[in-house]
Amino acid sequence: MKFTEITTLGELKASGYKSKSIKDELRDNLIEKIKNKETTFTGVHGYENTVIPELERAILSRHNINLLGLRGQAKTRLARLMLNLLDEYIPVVEGSEINDDPLQPISRFANELIKEKGDNTPITWLHRSERFAEKLATPDVTVADIIGDVDPIKAANLKLSYADDRVIHYGMIPRANRCIFVINELPDLQARIQVALFNILQEGDVQIRGFKLRLPLDMQFVFTANPEDYTNRGSIVTPLKDRIGSQILTHYPVNIETARKITEQEAKVVESQNSTVVVPDLARDLLEQIVFEARESEYIDAKSGVSARLSITALENLLSTAERRALVNGEDKTMLRVSDFIGIIPAITGKVELVYEGEQEGAAVVAYNLIGEAIKSLFVEYFPKIEKLKKATEESPYDDIVSWFFNLQDGFELLDDLRDKEYQNLLKDIAPLNDLLAKHQPNIQEQDQFFVKEFVLWALVEFKLLSKHRLTQGVQFTDPYGSFIKDI
């Protein structure tokens, strides 16, 4: 007989089922996964050698855990993935508000039911997916919300006095007995509410309106906190920190490859967009580099952090920008362009906190400049470095391209809604640009060549070899000195 087919306490005892605490469940199942070389936290990238080993050590130590890190660092996701380390089902006394273990009941309801019915006490089975409770800490959270309070309606219906513990209405924490309980943004919780957690974490005592209930709750607590909160809004009171076994620091991806995995996994991309828009590898790298630049920018508040959600929403915007152009032009397929990155500016401005200097520049200007800085950083990985100072006699691989623009009568315009064929023909006309790619990027895929060509033009602007002007419907590239000399 399967455990889940058991319906009474007597059958459960006869089956040989043994109860274990939630922390022991997590520990035992983690040990099995490690022995079997299984991935313990699937879908989380970049933490393989840092956060995950620390988290596993905390679970093996049977600790309550605090995940400390900036926004968008998968703290809540890690807590939710701990569900996979629980047993698939556990027995519960039927009707119990606090998931009483039939073999080790703690509530008055369960004890009286077992005393009355003995081995015929009905039990149900709780799936691990139901063993997760989460509370976002906000200043308006009360002790009644998370621990409980006296329920006057219950007292009236049962005709009981307020001195009877049966009039208690349990809060979120007792109702999450034998579950993983997550409190997000712990510093936002008022100090007096944090104090109410002391005994629950240490001794299992619950105090409600003068009732001292000895409820040895069996729980795995996971807290998340942002270091910014310690100074801006609140803090974790010291005695509570002392009762949390392990504090684990999370971090952002350390390289573009890891960041790309996260973005591509999380971005909600419609299948039709994948079939419509051709996205070069360089474009995906550029998108992630923009986020890396944002985290280093002097205009953006580093304490606030730059969430991984920036690159996720930016990718969605980027594909939508190209898709919209294809729809406008009635084309079934289009290639992503560097100018499409203008479409991600709304995704950037909504995800970053600017310092005073950034506010003076303006969010849109800061976002636009981040694109330029990212292009500048990636350019040297594909093409020869552009020296700021060189002798007049020294030749540069880019001299011919600059000369081409110098000899141009009018500026070179790339409009946003150009059809793909027109866009390609314009870039093909820049012969020195074709030569540069043939020499330094001979193995680049044909479908990616046009993106790389435009990428070179944007990079030459960043290195002050060309000028770029934003038009209402596109961009114009010119020689920075040509028009001035011609006027003279």
Q: Of 225, 374, 179, 209, whose CA–CA distance to 294 is shortest? A: 374
Domains of the chain: 3-141+173-249 (3.40.50.300), 256-379 (1.10.8), 399-487 (1.10.10)
Question: How many CA atoms lie within 13 Å of 429's alpha carbon, on the beta-carbon side?
Answer: 12
Q: Of 148, 158, 155, whose CA–CA distance to 215 is shortest? A: 148
Residues in CB range of 221: below 8 A, 6 or more apart: 64, 65, 181, 182, 183, 201, 244
DSSP 218-256: --EEEEEE-TTHHHHT----HHHHHH-SEEEE----SSH
Tokens 């929403």 label which residue? 313
Torsion region of 330: left, alpha or beta (phi above 0 gives left; psi -120 to 50 gives alpha): left
DSSP 275-299: HHEE--HHHHHHHHHHHHHHHH-TT
Which run of H or E residues covers position 136?
strand 132-136
Q: Which residues of the chain have pLDDT under 50?
A: 231, 488
Question: How many CA atoms lie within 13 Å of 194's alpha carbon, on the beta-carbon side?
Answer: 23
What's the one-letter identity of residue 339? S
- Dist. CA 178–CA 25, nearest whole Å: 10
CB 9 within 8 A of CB 102: yes
What pLDDT, on the 0 to 100 scale, is given for residue 211? 65
SS3 150: strand
Torsion region of 164: left, alpha or beta (phi above 0 gives left; psi -120 to 50 gives alpha): beta
CB 294 within 8 A of CB 348: yes
CB 369 within 8 A of CB 485: no
pLDDT (tens digit per residue) in 314-353? 999 999 999 999 999 999 999 999 999 999 999 999 899 9
What pLDDT, on the 0 to 100 scale, is given for residue 289? 97
- C-alpha dihedral, 184 to 188 to 190 to 196, nearest 10°: 20
Q: Of 230, 348, 372, whose CA–CA distance to 300 is shortest? A: 348
Q: Of 412, 416, 446, 440, whose CA–CA distance to 427 is shortest? A: 412
Max Cα-Cα span within the chain: 105
- The number of helices, as runs of H, and strands, as runs of E, in the chain is 24, 16
Bridge partners (DSSP) listed for residue 223: 66, 183
H helical segments located in 61-122: 75-81, 108-117
Token pair, residue 441, equals 């990027």
- Dist. CA 402–CA 413, nearest whole Å: 15
What pLDDT, on the 0 to 100 scale, is given for residue 139? 79
Residues in CB range of 380: below 8 A, 6 or more apart: none
- Dist. CA 216–CA 252, nearest whole Å: 38
- Dist. CA 246–CA 224, nearest whole Å: 12
What pLDDT, on the 0 to 100 scale, is given for residue 212? 63
- Dist. CA 169–CA 59, nearest whole Å: 31
Instruction: Quote the pTM value.
Output: 0.86
